[in-house]
Structure 1
Amino acid sequence: MTVGTKPNGSPDRRHRMSSDEATVRAKVKELEKLRAASKVRKAGRPPTVEQWITTWLETACARKVADGSMAPRTLDDYWSKCRLYVFPGIGKHRVDKLTPEHLDALYLGMLQRALASGTVLKTHRIVSRALRVAMQREIVTRNVATLIDAPTAVETEIEPFSREETRAVLVEADKRRNGARWSVALAEGLRQGEALGLRWQYIDLDTSVIKVWWQLQRLTWRHGCEDPHACGEKHHRKGCKPTCKQHAKLKNGCPKPCPKGCAAHAKVCPERTGGGLVFREPKGKNKRIVPIPPPLVPILRAHRAAQLRERMAAGELWEENDLVFAQPDGKMIDPRADWEEWKDILTAAGLRDARVHDGRHTAGTLLIESGVNPRVVMEILGHSSMRMMTRYTHVASALAADAASKMGDALWG
């Protein structure tokens, strides 16, 4: 049966065979239905799941990174989850032979390994997007990821600091260089990258507003040489082989096997490109303008004066980046060093351990406790939807109890 044309223009003819006529007729009828619905699989052997997702990541997703519609760190996360979970779990299946049961088994195995439910959900979304593109390009006739219920991500309960604990953080931070960095983060609820990426041109102390238009991010280095494998073998650790399969057994080799071989070690490439600390738009391209609390204005003025003194002391060694929070020579602050500073502040203040991001949750909690409308809090924090505000239900419960008390006073005195 002719079902279309091949890429070279010749007729694309398909054959159906069986030991009896009835079975052949049924197969031909099924093929006719696929032809009528324009769902006939392209000629040639379909790729495996690993082959197709690799092609999708290296072409379609890479193009999105190039045109700015996908963040480089998003693509890095896709690669990471595919190498760790998707390829070992279902990578050898032909993409057109993949079934919902295969995906169920993959996600069940991940959950049994005590992986976070959010990780399982992200993996499902990656697989679903890859199969959707495969269906658009007629590599498969259906997206089996849509035939199962998506894994449920369990929201982790946030643990913000209280007012007293937050003030203890500010008191300790005030004793340190760049202490204003934590005042700004706790007052405005900035993400770490947004705080480290603040520049003076986006802060107006006269009108008391901050334009959160950029953030600082560390991007993964990429090879700039013609042969990444040879580069990795030459510049990486002693004994490194292009296949990287024996790294774990080598005394001076990689600490663990590398799925893509030495091509993954682009940070050692002399001609590496595209990595390091860079300025990028905020998450979701959510540019926003937030007001500065009046007590924070003199803190920022004092911080700018101290930075000017550092600039004069550095002289020619000063690297001009217009950063609000920078190293003594004007260079960008590494997020890892910023994380260590936060941990040190918490220890010195006698507080429990917490993530840097918990400071952002603390800002949202304090705003709601102060009676600020949740939609206003959403705009200040840069949340994309009101759904994110459901994480602050513990605060809402306290406010609801206060409202009930007031209603009781109104009705019964």
Structure 2
Amino acid sequence: MTTPRDASPSRRIRANGDGTVYQRKDGRWEAAGYVLAPGNTRKRIRVYGTTRKDALAKLTEKIATSNRGVPVPSAQGSVSAYLTYWLEAVAVHHLRENTHTRYTTCVHQHLIPGLGKKKLAKLTAKDVRTWLNQLRITCQCCARGIDTLRDQSRCCAAGTCCSKRLSPLTLAYIHSVLKSALEHAVREEEITRNVARNVRTGTPRPRRFEPLTAVEARWLLTATRGHRLHALFELALHTGLRKGELLGLHWEDLDLDAGTAAIRRTLQRTNAGGLTALPTKTRASERRIALPARCLLSLRLHHAAQQRERDTASTEWQHSGYVFTTPQGSAIDPTNLTRTFTLLLRKAGLRRIRFHDLRHSTATLLLEQGVELVVIKELLGHAHIGVTATVYAHVRLRLQRKAIDSLGTALDVPANNTSLSPCGDEPCSTTTLVR
């Protein structure tokens, strides 16, 4: 006798809240149940399997996850769609304009071509790791079609790949942009976890820089003497201010009688606003610093020279209020300052360095003079002392070597005194000798 349909073991009644499991006409098994959704609501989901046990296991796992308070992912779109939304609706309100521009370039050049077609909810750590490994060995001339845009091909189009690969620092930056985007997707409960955090790219070596020595710094200051921006370069070497902070200084920020300067803004060129005064890089960067006597004298001379330029320019003078200006009184473009700096390096016979390396030179010279790390951190405006300690670790190692050598000198036994007793003037006791 045939067993009734309702009495079949595969059709037994499940408890309330356990969901339902049944076989479809195509032979697959389907399980459906309610789980937690974003916004503290409930949502009915369906999972499929080749057997009843398969489908039931998938549903049970999702219900168990829901019972722990983890909502089911709501993202149905692609990674490309979400990254576009994140850039246009989220990141634009939380990032500085230049940072947002770099993020946008990174997303459109690397993230969307590599991961854009995948579903956001189905993106796995393996997908991210495989893509990063492929990106690490891919020639960028070939991948982005750079060679085809050149007047004369010299890479893939010419049949010889130049192997222009991304640096470890660039790969780490691309990975960090993806992590930031997925982290926001987790906060908005679009996905349950940030899979990019489970991928390790390795710690890239920090960019090496060669700061100026004390002798080279003196040569540079000698070469700038007589230049209309001598006070700027002297201030940069003595205080370690960033390029934008120097160009963003107003006369009202300086108290020449008290010998202090208030760092309140930075001058940068942006795509939307052109040359714009922006808030400092971090909250710690907004600070008040002491000015050395040499800089105070240079600033007073610079102020007098600027007054003469103002009288010469007459009606063409632009009242910008900046300490360092063009001969017409307008703000100096950071790119033009870099060109001037490069010419002065050549004049001084010095190797070519970045303007930002003047900041590194200041910190290096201060450390070598024995200045406390916390004082340098406050002067440079670093948010955390760990940044200062990490960036200038090579200097600290040199100081350690110097200290160890000094200790070794102190512990050396004079060559002409071989009668020294290990116990000093007192006779050695047998209990003090250790074999």
Q: TM-score, normalised by structure 1?
A: 0.79
Q: What's the CA shift for 1:408?
A: 4.0
Q: Give the structure, 1 or 2, with the largest relative contact order (CA under 8 Å, sep 6 or more).
A: 1
In structure 1, how many angstroms separate the alpha carbons of the residues matched to 2:402 and 2:324? 40
Partners of 2:177 and 2:119 lie apart in 1 by 17
Q: Distance in 1 between matches of 2:40 and 2:393?
A: 62
The runs of 5 or more residues in structure 2 that have no matched partner are 1-31, 140-164, 415-435
User: CA 1:15/1:372 → structure 2, altered by over 3 Å: closer, same or farther?
Assistant: closer
Provide the residue aligned with 2:241 in structure 1.
Answer: 190
The aligned counterpart of 1:3 is 34
Task: Say which of 52, 65, 68 aligns to 2:82.
Answer: 52
Superposed, 1:94-113 pairs within 5 Å as: 94-112=119-137, 113=139
Q: Residues of 2 paired with 1:344 and 1:119: CA distance?
A: 29
Is the alpha carbon distance of 1:36 and 1:214 closer, same or farther for their aligned partners in structure 2, counting shifts above 3 Å?
same
Conservation of the 8 A alpha-carbon contact between 1:325 and 1:333: yes
Q: Percent of aligned pairs with the same residue?
A: 31
1:285-296 matches, within 5 Å, as: 285=283, 286-296=285-295
Distance 1:104 1:42 in 2: 22
Count of equivalent residues: 354
* Corresponding position: 1:78 with 2:103: yes
**Match of 2:80, as an amino acid?**
E
Q: Kindly state the Cα deviation for residue 355 of structure 1 after the two structures are TM-superposed.
A: 0.7
The answer as to 2:389 corresponding to 1:389 is yes
The 3-state SS of whatever aligns with 1:280 is strand
Residue by residue over 1:222-247, the C-alpha shift from the partner in whole angstroms, topping out at 9 and shown as x without a partner, is xxxxxxxxxxxxxxxxxxxxxxxxxx
- Please report the RMSD computed on the Cα atoms of aligned residues, expressed in angstroms: 2.4
How far apart, CA to CA, are the structure 1 residues paired with 2:344 and 2:411?
48
**C-alpha distance in structure 1 between counterparts of 2:40 and 2:214, whole Å:** 72
What is the rounded CA distance, in whole Å, between the counterparts of 1:8 and 1:128 in structure 2? 24
Matching residue's letter, 2:181? A
C-alpha distance in structure 1 between counterparts of 2:42 and 2:395, whole Å: 67
- Cα distance in 2 for partners of 1:15, 1:183 equals 70
TM-superposition CA deviations, 1:191-212 (whole Å, max 9, x none): 1111111111111111111111
2:264 is aligned with 1:213: yes
Question: Is contact 2:33-2:46 (8 Å) kept?
Answer: no
Alpha-carbon offset, residue 90 of structure 1: 1.2
User: Gaps spanning 5+ residues in structure 1: where?
Assistant: 65-69, 222-274
**Aligned: 1:173 with 2:224:** yes
Structure 1 position 309, deviation (Å): 0.9
Whole-angstrom distance in 1 between the partners of 2:117 and 2:334: 38
In 2: Cα distance, 1:334 partner to 1:393 partner: 33
Q: Distance in 1 between matches of 2:64 and 2:261?
A: 60
Structure 1 pair 346–110 and aligned structure 2 pair: CA distance change class (3 A):
farther
Of 327-336 and 103-112, the range deviating more from structure 2 = 103-112
Compute the displacement of 1:10 (Å).
10
TM-score, normalised to structure 2's length?
0.75
- 1:87 maps onto 2:112 in alignment: yes
* Conservation of the 8 A alpha-carbon contact between 1:120 and 1:151: no
- Residue 331 (structure 1) shift: 0.8
- Quick one: which amino acid aligns to residue 404 of structure 1? I
State the match for 2:312 in structure 1.
313
Name the counterpart of 2:146.
none
